Amino acid sequence: MQPNQKDREAFVEFGLEAGTYDKNYSESPDRYPDHVFRLRIFLDLLKKIRPKSLLDAGCGSGVPLATFLKAGFNAYGFDRSTEMVQETSKRLAANDLDPSRVFEGDLDNFSRPISELFDAIVGLGTVYYTTDTRKTVGHLASHLSTNGDIIFSLRNELFSLGSLNDYSADFLLQQFYNTSQLSESAKSSLQQLISERFPKANIDKLFANVDERQIRSNLHNPLTVESELLEPNGLKLKNIYYYHFHALPPIFEHTHQQEFYKLSSEREVPSDWRGMFSASCFVVHATKP
């Protein structure tokens, strides 16, 4: 699947957010701090691993990269957006960090800034935006040293079961019910049943998976990510960590925002089993044997 014109335009719009993107890492009362929880998972893992060299693949406006450098890691980062690279460079300079640590590149096509392979590669919110996640993970792994660690976040397909919205209907129709083999009578009855619970659902038109910028992204099942993404690329799963918990269905973020934020924040324990179904994202930690 090649990026369409709408996707390309959305990424241009993403670049225009370079100067304000750091707000995603603040604990503002009008936004759920999922980026904060995500960064905490990555930083905790890196402190345990202590890699000699680190690459931040898709570094955005540089808050994580600056955080890694301040923590003492020999880190580099890149982004496909020229504006994001420029913003990261300014951020590093403003924090007395080397601005040359950031460069422009694409997840599926970048040049390594050092001759040696990296001991660790991280992708905080980028891998699931590529058109072929397995291929992207493989390309990143090709820049990883033997026994190196690759850590990246994905959007949780199983969360669809508990979201009670269009994603739920889409998941059921794709993963549970084989509508292509139904008689017209059974198909009509299933459509009526699904529509009663999810009014916008349409058996013949699956839900378009786009984010708030209308950029397409991929959902992944944490139960199959090892066999689908890691093993084909010669990687071994170490662990999975969940974040962006939803203590209530997503609609409550709009109808009971502060209650939703409070209860969900209290549930942000990456190892909580409920994250498999109530967290919209998860972090994959794998190694290259």
Chain segment 250-289, per-residue pLDDT in tens: 999 999 999 999 999 999 999 999 999 999 999 999 999 9
- Assess whether 169 and 228 both reside in one domain: no
- Assess whether 16 and 145 both reside in one domain: yes
Dihedral (CA of 161, 165, 171, 173) sign: positive
- Assess whether 151 and 185 both reside in one domain: no
Task: Kindly tell me the burial class for residue 283, based on how many C-beta atoms sit within 10 Å of its own C-beta (0-12, 13-18, 19 or more).
Answer: buried
How many structural domains compose the chain? 2
- Assess whether 66 and 171 both reside in one domain: no
- Assess whether 70 and 176 both reside in one domain: no
Indicate whether 204 belongs to any domain. Answer: no
Contact between 260 and 253 under an 8 Å Cβ cutoff? The reply is yes
Show the domain range for 149: 5-159+209-287
Q: Which are the contacts of 272, defined by CB distance < 8 A and separation ≥ 6?
A: 242, 245
- Assess whether 148 and 282 both reside in one domain: yes
Instruction: Note the pTM of the prediction, 2 decimals.
Output: 0.90
- Assess whether 53 and 169 both reside in one domain: no
Q: What is the DSSP string of 153-177?
A: EEEEGGGHHHH-SHHHHHHHHHHT-
- Assess whether 55 and 175 both reside in one domain: no
- For residue 215 the two structure tokens come to 């950029």
Question: pLDDT tens for residues 94-108?
Answer: 999 999 999 999 999
- Assess whether 142 and 192 both reside in one domain: no
Indicate whether 203 belongs to any domain. Answer: no
- Assess whether 51 and 111 both reside in one domain: yes
Question: pLDDT tens for residues 49-68?
Answer: 999 999 999 999 999 999 99
